[in-house]
Amino acid sequence: MSARPVVVVTRRLPEAVEQAAARDFDARLNRDDKPLGPDGLKEALRSADAVLCTVSDKLTADILSAEPRRARLLANFGVGFNHIDVEAAKARGLAVSNTPDVLTDATADLAMTLLLMVARRAGEGERHLRAGAWTGWRPTHMMGTQVSGKTLGLVGMGRIARAVAGRAHGGFGMRVIFHDPYPPSPEVARSLGAEPRERLEDVLRQADFVSLHCPATPETRHLMNRERLALMRPDAYLVNTARGDVVDEAALVEALQSRRIAGAGLDVFEREPEVSRGLLELENVVLLPHLGSATTETRVEMGMRALENLRLFFAGSPLRDRVA
């Protein structure tokens, strides 16, 4: 048996990360990059000392009950961990870590990308051009909505939301309002040009653009439901780079189809990788395949952060990013 800890890596990672993993651990890499599935995840828990997992791995209570279990750590590649039954992991004595901080800028950039794309009909316009339907410039063709100077409402005010606020206020002169049950200090909010609102409903009623930045928890599941979507202005847009199940996707499709809201920009979906057919058929929505952290720099940093937690764990030191 190898003297080095055995680590199952559930998906392909950037080459630099896989090389570091192979150097420091007995790393079982996923060369085919196919999801392990329930049986593969159970086998990983039985055969490895740790599992370096991703958002595509649904680590349910049933999977975590695999016996005889050898694994003692789930090192998650990503900041969100709602795909892991954390309470079940705790009950089984499994530690869980994540990779915060390193994906803040990439995800904030993408939130602004979605906001700009849906406001200026960029996705629709590219499809129009590629289909050979463009007949030339004309004054009323594909008019969108101006972004500069508008009001951005942030739901949640953590690291990524603050980075979005800085970009929106400093770069586009947007008025920024936000709701968070655990708000930043008044000094931090003022530095970002952001104004707190006591109630989520106030943000939804006042914003031209609503951007979601709350964690996925039982309390935030379907936070944006039919009733809350109805509070948004008919000329307002919804942007989601948080987690898909924060939005009731069926209710969103209804709101978009009936033009109760003007449009949406989505990077995450309720049942990934499945996307509601209604969304696919609409022109007033921009759809991206969960690209929030998808820059080379960020994905490498995420991997290195996951490996740092693995090294600390097997050295008997406190995890840098322990969530359970």
Which sequence positions are flagged as catalytic?
243, 272, 290
Number of helices followed by number of strands (H, E) in the chain:
13, 12
- Alpha-helical (H) ranges within the chain are 15-24, 37-47, 61-64, 86-91, 104-119, 122-130, 159-172, 186-191, 200-206, 226-231, 249-257, 277-280, 296-314
Q: Is 180 left (phi over 0), alpha (psi -120 to 50) or beta?
A: beta
Report how far Cα 173 is from the mean position of its chain's Cα atoms.
25
Cis peptide before 5 (omega within 30 of 0): no
DSSP 8-state code for residue 46: H
- Burial class, 284, CB count within 10 angstroms (exposed 0-12 / middle 13-18 / buried 19+): middle
Q: Quick count: other Cβ atoms within 10 Å of Cβ 141? A: 11
Residue tagged 């289909």 (tokens): 131
Residues 6+ apart with CB under 8 A from 321: 97, 98, 99, 100, 305, 309
Q: What is the DSSP string of 269-290?
A: -TBTTB--HHHHT-SSEEE-SS
Q: Distance between CA 214 and CA 193 in Å, rounded?
A: 20
Q: Quick count: other Cβ atoms within 10 Å of Cβ 2? A: 8
Report how far Cα 57 is from the mean position of its chain's Cα atoms.
15
